[in-house]
Amino acid sequence: MPRVLKDVVRPSGAEELSMTRVVVRSLGGFSLGLSLATAYGLLELLVEEHSPWGCLVGTLTLAAFLSLGMGFSRQVRVTVLLLLPQAFSSELGTRWEGQGLGQEGS
């Protein structure tokens, strides 16, 4: 049976992030969240043709949660980036195919 070493020494510089990197990563996640919410709101307004006030309220709500979540949590950043292709392609792809704007071969 293998023994587990409890006092494993790790190099301090390898895992410790500087405060500058943490701030830059958080600001980058915050700005990416705002950008994604803005892009989603514009697509909803221009492609889906929803009301402007509904798009504004939905975009501001999405921007608040998405930007703060991506700014403060690594797990939210990973989840959003993994779900991003599905979020932007699912409904829009079916609508474009229904209007004949999908692939040329079908």
Taking only the tens place, the pLDDT of each residue in 20-43 is: 888 898 999 999 989 988 988 898
Distance CA 10, CA 37 (A): 40
Terminal alpha carbon distance of the chain: 60
pTM over 0.75: no
Q: Residue length, the chain? A: 106
Going by C-alpha positions, the residue among 39, 6, 4, 24 that lies closest to residue 71 is: 24
Distance CA 8, CA 48 (A): 56
How is the chain split into domains, by residue range? 22-94
pLDDT tens across 60-96, in order?
A: 998 999 899 988 988 988 898 888 888 767 555 555 5
